Chains A and B, each alone.
Chain A
Amino acid sequence: MGLIHEIDFGTPAALSDKTITLTIDGREITVPEGTSVMRASMEAGIQVPKLCATDMVDAFGSCRLCLVEVEGRNGTPASCTTPAAEGMVVHTQTERLKTIRKGVMELYISDHPLDCLTCAANGDCELQDMAGAVGLRDVRYGYEGDNHVRAKQDSGINAKWMPKDESNPYFTYDPAKCIVCSRCVRACQEVQGTFALTIEGRGFDSRVSPSAHELFIDSECVSCGACVQACPTATLTEKSVIAIGQPEHSAVTTCAYCGVGCSFKAEMRGEELIRMVPWKEGQANRGHSCVKGRFAYGYSTHKDRILNPMIREKITDPWREVSWEEALNYTASEFRRLQYQYGRASVGGITSSRCTNEETFLMQKLIRAGFGNNNVDTCARVCHSPTGYGLGQAFGTSAGTQNFDSVEHSDVVVVIGANPTDGHPVFGSRLKKRLRQGAQLIVIDPRRTDLVKSPHIKAAHHLALKPGTNVAVMTALAHVIVTEGLQDEGFIRDRCDWSEFEDWAEFVSEERHSPEATEDYTGVPADEIRRAARLFATGGNGAIYYGLGVTEHSQGSTTVMAIANLAMVTGNIGRPGVGVNPLRGQNNVQGSCDMGSFPHELPGYRHVSDEAARDVFEKMWGVTISSEPGLRIPNMLDAAVEGSFKGLYIQGEDILQSDPDTKHVAAGLAAMECVVVQDLFLNETANYAHVFLPGSTFLEKDGTFTNAERRINRVRKVMTPKNGYADWEVTQNLARAMGLDWEYTHPSEIMDEIAITTPSFAGVNYPYLDQVGSVQWPCNEHFPVGSPIMHVDGFVRGKGKFIRTEYVATDERTGPRFPLLLTTGRILSQYNVGAQTRRTDNVVWHPEDKLEIHPHDAEQRGIHDNDWVKLSSRSGDTTLRATITTRVSPGVVYTTFHHPTTQANVITTDYSDWATNCPEYKVTAVQISPSNGPSDWQVEYDEQARRSRRIAGHLEAAE
């Protein structure tokens, strides 16, 4: 073990197929055309001294340290900005160069503090390294003149000195240590795409400035940390490094937040996590991260974390801490009792999209083999189940078609019902980079998201539709393409079923689907739709990215099919730069679906009625598997209220907060006799639990996560589970307590079982993942190295299927009592129900959920900015504070759902997708009125939550 050191090549890789050969310090090296001399040199193993160059950003040529001499050329060009040329002979170390470099370093050091021993970057400072590399021994200029280093100068104040900015919770900016290399400014621009930093002033006055000379926390900075990573000195430093010191070993692992699945080096000192540094070889993130992945890991050691198992007989009792043995034996006997008393189907389980593939596989195995039924479901039910269904129907697989690198080849990008700069920030940055290179963007969203317009990017079209009219808009786009003859007939004839296409084309061509006919109820001007459709059909490689704004509707599955239709009719499937790409919400939501978490599907999306598939598992596990699909989450809750469903094992999910119609969920849970919650914290669902099994974090276990691009990434254990066991061990111990003879000693053995039983994972195993870093399924004998792009030579199902997409308005309608439409979403700094991010310093950016309302609607109701308002729907009401903004259209209001006190899902209804029961979170008819405090439900709920969190022998927390 030791620190993983990544080579910094100084400038980004060139992508040309043509190669050239040159000689550097006597060594011959062949590189792609366009490679800089600096990078070629590093590839030859020769490090040219440098300060302003790093391979995450383009060459800049400002530090004057990387100068080289080229035979036959005058002067000493900078190696970072000089492209390698055929036959070039380069010298990186000559007397002339040594003298120049030493002189340059003397100038740098004459205006830099000499506190290396007590500096946070000691041991990880490129300035220090370069001083060593050039042999700096003396600074002829002295340290006495004008400087940025000392607060006082000549017994007066030094106007050039600036104090440290410690306003960001995770890193500090110390201008005294800055060498103005601009790496941070360029990282913010080129990598993150926020443009929050600049160099203010000129010459000796030049300083790095967040926005217009503001504090970091007040500036446009989104705290992604790319600048901190790029800084060669201690100017921008993680506070954790300042507090603890430099790490001594690291392991590559995968972020446990969103579905982008960024790879990080977890840099450790002993079992203490010092910092997370994005891994440049990570193929999802390519060395970038967001504020959550890089900084928001503090929840793993938060005092609220529960570390001992607990049980109680009634949910009104205080919790009692017990041994693991007692907790598991109690659970096992309760589940057996319930099954004996109420029947085999009276218990079930919910798998987690936050846990590993291996853990999810074990959960469904426990339910199918141990409980003997198919009552397993997962939180994908409430997010991307329509994706699984819709894409399965159209293409034959329930997953996105591309890898994230694909966006680098897109010419027109459609983003529907997704807000990547907040929800999937690293993908958002990669998309923005492509947009700045000239790709066009069409945003279909009721709200003006940051992608519609923010510094240096602007959508060509923003179709600000009324919530709930996705299908109508998508069909109208198809109408324009078909009636104007813009379809890719060659692709359709070759790859799709022609008669189905003809049927569909006839359907979409009907006048009632024209943009003019639908304008009335979609709210999108017909001309805007026509122009957007033409752009997508004729603008080159067209890619569609979508999120929960598509799926969480009563017609979620229909919209997914409409998206598939649009991709097929324009021939945008099966090559880089195109495709249909669901942006998955959670780190392993793709994996949890792959692993057989649905009540009707075995791992690998094989229906439980498929005898051959059942046979594989029955032989392996020595049990009989029911051929009847089990209950979905909403059905389990309904059955519980009716009295036939009595026991539920919930791993890592907070259904009370995340599922629709909170009151119904609460009633269902309250009606059960044994609710087992396995989680890091006493979450909201645990208020209704009888057994609490403490969970482990992603830092405490081995396993794999599968991200939105089907990429199987390794998760590596870097610390001992504080609760005693990784989650897979807890499930295994429960299985053993129920009499199953499981003997896994490591998650790799579970992956081997997955590979044997599931064809799309046949080629996956830990040694292979360790060797290649990650792989995208399917990975088997047909695709031995995995599948970055799917449907390349043909659709998985054979011919692509065009499906009619009739728009049916949701039953949730506005009327005189509830005249506004509420839609919900996320914000950058918080994640999902917030159980983790609320327990980190990320709360400085979003301490509460707020309601966005248009000035027109606010004025009508006498609501001012920051006022408390009551938000009511047919289901219930809650209160929160208002933000008045034109981001939302008149008639539409918006809020996030990160804080339990807001309980946005008290408001949402129980309408759901017709095919998959995915709840209709994105459309609720509401009314807003002024208010002066929490609603009765909130007060009652808080009191109930407080009572149900009591632990015997512990003083109640003061907060």
Chain B
Amino acid sequence: MMQAAGTETRQRVADVVDAFKGQDGALLLILHGIQDEFGYVPDETVPVVADALNLSRADVHGVITFYHDYRKHPAGRHVLKICRAEACQAMGGEAMVERAMELLGLNFHETSSDNAVTLEPVFCLGLCACAPAAMLDGQLIGRLDEDKLREIVTEVRA
């Protein structure tokens, strides 16, 4: 059974819902808004959003789970995404993935115990010309190599 949202959560969700409700494609906007507000999309917001848009919980759940960018849990303070699509693989992306895992001590979808960083795969950042590519906290990084990786790790551990 879904857990009911507490009063405070409910109000924060309601504010997000009210901000986007009238717009076309409101569901995606609202889910982004919730993720911005909470850092992830808490399970208990599903019934609130469903009710507001006259959708079923299943409808909302289907959309949330379809998009990998909607989080079920809060991420670390930094999020590092490394591209695993074809162009990046061809340019040595897989080796960069392994190196990053080693340096951070994390597998994909894991967050470090100090909550500093979350490591995630991504499929194409549209930066194939500068493969292998990565993204740190929304900033694109091209021509990823070992040095850049060390730099990133130092930064996120700081």
Q: Are A214 and B1 neighbours in the complex by a CB distance under 8 Å? A: yes
**12 intermolecular pairs with C-beta atoms under 8 Å apart:** A197-B58, A198-B61, A200-B61, A209-B65, A211-B57, A211-B58, A211-B61, A212-B43, A212-B46, A212-B61, A219-B57, A219-B58
Q: Are A211 and B56 neighbours in the complex by a CB distance under 8 Å? A: yes
Interface string of B1-39 (1 = CB under 8 A from A): 110000000000000000000000000000000000000
Q: Does B62 contact A (CB under 8 A)?
A: yes
Whole-angstrom CA separation of A453 from B54 in the bound complex: 7
How close is B127's CB to chain A, nearest CB, in angstroms?
22
Q: Are A200 and B65 neighbours in the complex by a CB distance under 8 Å? A: yes
Whole-angstrom CA separation of A198 from B60 in the bound complex: 9
Q: Are B58 and A212 neighbours in the complex by a CB distance under 8 Å? A: yes
- In the bound complex, residues from chain A placing their C-beta under 8 Å from that of B59 are 195, 198, 455
Whole-angstrom CA separation of A219 from B50 in the bound complex: 13
Whole-angstrom CA separation of A214 from B55 in the bound complex: 16
**Residue of B56, B58, B59, B61 ringed by the most chain A CB atoms within 10 A:** B58
Q: Does A861 contact B (CB under 8 A)?
A: no
Q: Interface extent on A, as a size class?
A: 20 to 34
Q: Are B54 and A212 neighbours in the complex by a CB distance under 8 Å? A: no
Whole-angstrom CA separation of A210 from B58 in the bound complex: 6
Q: Which of A198, A201, A202 contacts B58 (CB 8 A)?
A: A198
Whole-angstrom CA separation of A352 from B2 in the bound complex: 43
Whole-angstrom CA separation of A904 from B58 in the bound complex: 36
Q: Interface extent on B, as a size class?
A: 10 to 19
- In the bound complex, residues from chain B placing their C-beta under 8 Å from that of A454 are 54
- In the bound complex, residues from chain A placing their C-beta under 8 Å from that of B60 are 212
How close is A183's CB to chain B, nearest CB, in angstroms?
15
Interface residues of A in 162-220 (CB under 8 A from B): 194-202, 209-214, 218-220
- In the bound complex, residues from chain B placing their C-beta under 8 Å from that of A455 are 50, 54-56, 59
List 11 extra interface pairs beyond A209-B61, A458-B54, CB under 8 A.
A195-B58, A198-B56, A198-B61, A200-B62, A202-B66, A209-B58, A209-B62, A213-B61, A218-B2, A220-B57, A456-B54
Q: Are B55 and A195 neighbours in the complex by a CB distance under 8 Å? A: yes
How close is B14's CB to chain A, nearest CB, in angstroms?
16
- In the bound complex, residues from chain B placing their C-beta under 8 Å from that of A200 are 61-62, 65-66
How close is A689's CB to chain B, nearest CB, in angstroms?
44
How close is B4's CB to chain A, nearest CB, in angstroms?
12
How close is A182's CB to chain B, nearest CB, in angstroms?
11
Q: Considering only CB atoms, which chain B residue lies closest to A207 in the complex?
A: B65
Chain B residues with CB under 8 Å of chain A are 1-2, 43, 46, 50, 54-62, 65-66
Whole-angstrom CA separation of A794 from B66 in the bound complex: 56
Judged by DSSP, the binding face of A is loop
Give the 3 A-B residue pairs with the shortest CB-CB distance, closest first. A198-B62, A212-B61, A195-B56
**Residue of B43, B50, B54, B57 ringed by the most chain A CB atoms within 10 A:** B57
Q: Which of B43, B54, B57, B66 contacts A201 (CB 8 A)?
A: B66
How close is A421's CB to chain B, nearest CB, in angstroms?
14
- In the bound complex, residues from chain A placing their C-beta under 8 Å from that of B66 are 200-202
Q: Are A196 and B54 neighbours in the complex by a CB distance under 8 Å? A: no
Known: A211-B2, A212-B43, A455-B50. A220 touches B56 (CB 8 A): yes
Known: A202-B66, A212-B46. A196 touches B58 (CB 8 A): yes
Q: Are B55 and A456 neighbours in the complex by a CB distance under 8 Å? A: yes
**Residue of A202, A213, A457 ringed by the most chain B CB atoms within 10 A:** A213
Whole-angstrom CA separation of A674 from B57 in the bound complex: 56
Whole-angstrom CA separation of A457 from B55 in the bound complex: 9
- In the bound complex, residues from chain B placing their C-beta under 8 Å from that of A458 are 54
Whole-angstrom CA separation of A454 from B62 in the bound complex: 18
Whole-angstrom CA separation of A953 from B56 in the bound complex: 54
How close is B77's CB to chain A, nearest CB, in angstroms?
27
Judged by DSSP, the binding face of B is helix
How close is A209's CB to chain B, nearest CB, in angstroms?
6
Whole-angstrom CA separation of A200 from B62 in the bound complex: 5
- In the bound complex, residues from chain B placing their C-beta under 8 Å from that of A209 are 58, 61-62, 65
- In the bound complex, residues from chain B placing their C-beta under 8 Å from that of A214 are 1-2, 57
Whole-angstrom CA separation of A211 from B61 in the bound complex: 7
Whole-angstrom CA separation of A201 from B61 in the bound complex: 9
Interface residues of A in 785-817 (CB under 8 A from B): none
Whole-angstrom CA separation of A664 from B43 in the bound complex: 53
Whole-angstrom CA separation of A453 from B53 in the bound complex: 11
Q: Are A196 and B62 neighbours in the complex by a CB distance under 8 Å? A: no
**Residue of A198, A214, A219 ringed by the most chain B CB atoms within 10 A:** A198
How close is A869's CB to chain B, nearest CB, in angstroms?
23
- In the bound complex, residues from chain A placing their C-beta under 8 Å from that of B54 are 453-458
Interface string of A346-375 (1 = CB under 8 A from B): 000000000000000000000000000000
Interface string of A216-248 (1 = CB under 8 A from B): 001110000000000000000000000000000
Whole-angstrom CA separation of A212 from B64 in the bound complex: 10
Whole-angstrom CA separation of A199 from B46 in the bound complex: 15
Whole-angstrom CA separation of A784 from B74 in the bound complex: 70
- In the bound complex, residues from chain B placing their C-beta under 8 Å from that of A201 are 65-66
Known: A201-B65, A202-B66, A455-B50. A218 touches B58 (CB 8 A): no
Whole-angstrom CA separation of A220 from B58 in the bound complex: 8
Q: Considering only CB atoms, which chain A residue lies closest to B50 in the complex?
A: A455
Whole-angstrom CA separation of A699 from B50 in the bound complex: 42
- In the bound complex, residues from chain B placing their C-beta under 8 Å from that of A198 are 56, 58-59, 61-62
Q: Are B2 and A212 neighbours in the complex by a CB distance under 8 Å? A: yes
Q: Considering only CB atoms, which chain A residue lies closest to B72 in the complex?
A: A213
- In the bound complex, residues from chain A placing their C-beta under 8 Å from that of B58 are 195-198, 209-212, 219-220
- In the bound complex, residues from chain A placing their C-beta under 8 Å from that of B56 are 194-196, 198, 211, 220, 455-456
Whole-angstrom CA separation of A212 from B58 in the bound complex: 5
Q: Considering only CB atoms, which chain A residue lies closest to B66 in the complex?
A: A202
Q: Are B57 and A218 neighbours in the complex by a CB distance under 8 Å? A: no
Interface string of A706-722 (1 = CB under 8 A from B): 00000000000000000
Whole-angstrom CA separation of A209 from B43 in the bound complex: 14
- In the bound complex, residues from chain A placing their C-beta under 8 Å from that of B46 are 212
Whole-angstrom CA separation of A195 from B56 in the bound complex: 6
Q: Considering only CB atoms, which chain A residue lies closest to B59 in the complex?
A: A195
Q: Considering only CB atoms, which chain B residue lies closest to A197 in the complex?
A: B58
- In the bound complex, residues from chain A placing their C-beta under 8 Å from that of B50 are 455
Interface string of A396-425 (1 = CB under 8 A from B): 000000000000000000000000000000
How close is A550's CB to chain B, nearest CB, in angstroms?
27
- In the bound complex, residues from chain B placing their C-beta under 8 Å from that of A220 are 56-58
Whole-angstrom CA separation of A456 from B53 in the bound complex: 9
How close is A678's CB to chain B, nearest CB, in angstroms?
43
Whole-angstrom CA separation of A213 from B55 in the bound complex: 16
- In the bound complex, residues from chain B placing their C-beta under 8 Å from that of A218 are 1-2
How close is B58's CB to chain A, nearest CB, in angstroms?
4
Whole-angstrom CA separation of A209 from B56 in the bound complex: 12
Interface residues of A in 280-299 (CB under 8 A from B): none
- In the bound complex, residues from chain B placing their C-beta under 8 Å from that of A453 are 54
Interface residues of A in 426-484 (CB under 8 A from B): 453-458
Q: Are A199 and B1 neighbours in the complex by a CB distance under 8 Å? A: no
Whole-angstrom CA separation of A211 from B62 in the bound complex: 9
- In the bound complex, residues from chain A placing their C-beta under 8 Å from that of B2 are 211-212, 214, 218
- In the bound complex, residues from chain B placing their C-beta under 8 Å from that of A196 are 56, 58
Whole-angstrom CA separation of A310 from B61 in the bound complex: 57
Whole-angstrom CA separation of A471 from B62 in the bound complex: 45
